[in-house]
Amino acid sequence: ETSEKDREFQAKIDRGVRIEANDWMPEGYRKTLIRQISQHAHSEIVGQLPEGNWITRAPSLQRKAILLAKVQDEAGHGLYLYCAAETLGISRDEMTAQLLSGKAKYSSIFNYPTLTWADMGAVGWLVDGAAIMNQVPLQRCSYGPYSRAMIRVCKEESFHQRQGFDVMRQLCQGTEEQKAMAQDALNRWWWPSLMMFGPSDKDSVHSEQSMRWGIKQNTNDELRQKFVDQTVPQAEWLGLTVPDPELKWNEDKGGYDFGEPDWSEFFEVIKGNGPCNKDRLAARNKAWDDGAWYRDGLTAHAEKQKQQIAA
Ligand code: 3HC
């Protein structure tokens, strides 16, 4: 049952007032923001791994420099988002422990392997394209620190998406083999990119409450539809075929009809049984362990500083 405070809070949300860290908020609002923002941050950090794999294998110095810049951007996105989550009362160490133990979710998309250079194109074009679709509305999220983090993230994501599309363009305008690589990457990344938007609305447990609290502006299916409508013409421009036999323009709806993602695959992946879940967690645990000496050094240095000030 809702209290007077809950009702006042909802009235603020309905008036479009931004909620700040020191404002009163229902425990459920705090909890779902910690859940979503920490998972978003984990996604950025784990998202560096599939692309990091190709930095040393990039076909040119220019492509290497661009990919390096993108992967570094993702680390920064993770930092903004962990900081936004900390304003809600959870510590960075707690969030890191949740990721490393396998308890926390991160975006399903990063549990797929990046097999060829064309994957760097497909990931930038489709994955960052989908991420932009989902992050632009988050700039209007009711929670101030999250919405402000999104403004900088969205600016950088558009560079990520353009550079990916440019890799696909270059391959599609190259040799037959290069175009076949681009088509193979589209075949493997199309459906997992649609799954990034979350389960269909009927299976989305959080959407209704998140929309009432102004955290979510659109439903999962709405954003998925927008993504398909925007991306299919780009695939056609590239001369590539979207791997969905049910894809068809629907004049009445002013959008494409398209097939259903394989939701059993989706739920398996988010349960931890995707192609790369174990590798991704192992890589993050190794990075944590390998960095222990550096953290210990920082802590020892801080301790010494404190003693000198106290003395
Ligand atoms: N991957 C993993 N888990 C997912 C998921 C996905 N693609 N989609 C949904 N889920 C999970 C939800 O977290 C929830 O599980 P939980 O209760 O244990 O958290 C469950 O499936 C039910 O889904 P809901 O639709 O009810 O959950 P949400 O309302 O949270 O909607 C979401 C899911 C749309 C992903 C939403 O959480 C969101 O907008 N998150 C912030 C944006 C984000 O994380 N984007 C993907 C990151 S990609 C990225 O940023 C990197 C880029 O730089 C390339």
Please state, as a whole number, how many other Cβ atoms lie within 10 Å of the Cβ of residue 12: 17
Average confidence (pLDDT) per 10 residues, the chain, 311 residues:
91 97 97 98 98 96 98 97 98 98 97 98 98 96 97 92 98 98 98 98 97 98 98 98 98 97 98 97 97 96 93 84
Q: What is the pLDDT of residue 131?
A: 96
Question: Phi first, then psi: what are they for 110, rounded to 5°?
Answer: -85, 5
Residue nearest to atom 54 of ligand 1 (CA): 128
Question: Phi first, then psi: what are they for 27, rounded to 5°?
Answer: -55, -35
CA of 84 to the centre of ligand 1 (A): 17
224 lines ligand 1 (CB under 6 A): no
CA of 280 to the centre of ligand 1 (A): 17
> Do 260 and 194 touch, CB atoms closer than 8 A?
no
CA of 99 to the centre of ligand 1 (A): 15
> Do 120 and 57 touch, CB atoms closer than 8 A?
no
Can you tell me which residue has the tokens 């190709």? 54
Q: What is the pLDDT of residue 168?
A: 98
**What's the token pair of residue 66?**
């661009």
Q: How far apart are CA 246 and CA 239, in angstroms?
A: 18
Residue nearest to atom 27 of ligand 1 (CA): 206
Residue from 31, 32, 40 whose mutation best tests the ligand 1 pocket (most atoms within 8 A of CB): 40
CA of 295 to the centre of ligand 1 (A): 30
51 lines ligand 1 (CB under 6 A): no
Closest CA to 165 of 109, 118, 114, 124: 124
CA of 197 to the centre of ligand 1 (A): 7
> Do 219 and 211 touch, CB atoms closer than 8 A?
yes
126 lines ligand 1 (CB under 6 A): no
CA of 293 to the centre of ligand 1 (A): 33
Q: What is the pLDDT of residue 2?
A: 80
Q: Which atom of ligand 1 lies at the shortest distance from residue 223's CA?
A: 34
128 lines ligand 1 (CB under 6 A): yes
Q: What is the pLDDT of residue 30?
A: 98
Q: What is the pLDDT of residue 311?
A: 84
Cβ-based neighbours of 251, under 8 Å, separated by 6 or more: none
Closest CA to 42 of 108, 87, 130, 88: 108
CA of 165 to the centre of ligand 1 (A): 24
**What's the token pair of residue 133?**
């679709």
70 lines ligand 1 (CB under 6 A): no
Euclidean distance between the first and the last CA atom of the chain, given in angstroms as a whole number: 55
Distances in Å between the alpha carbon of 279 and those of 103, 141, 220, 282?
15, 33, 28, 5
- ipTM above 0.85? yes
Please state, as a whole number, how many other Cβ atoms lie within 10 Å of the Cβ of residue 62: 9
Q: Which long-range contacts (CB under 8 A, 24 or more apart) does 3-9 make?
A: none
CA of 35 to the centre of ligand 1 (A): 9
Question: Phi first, then psi: what are they for 292, rounded to 5°?
Answer: -60, -45
Can you tell me which residue has the tokens 């695959």? 265
CA of 210 to the centre of ligand 1 (A): 12
Q: Which atom of ligand 1 lies at the shortest distance from residue 204's CA?
A: 26
Q: How far apart are CA 86 and CA 119, in angstroms?
A: 34
44 lines ligand 1 (CB under 6 A): yes
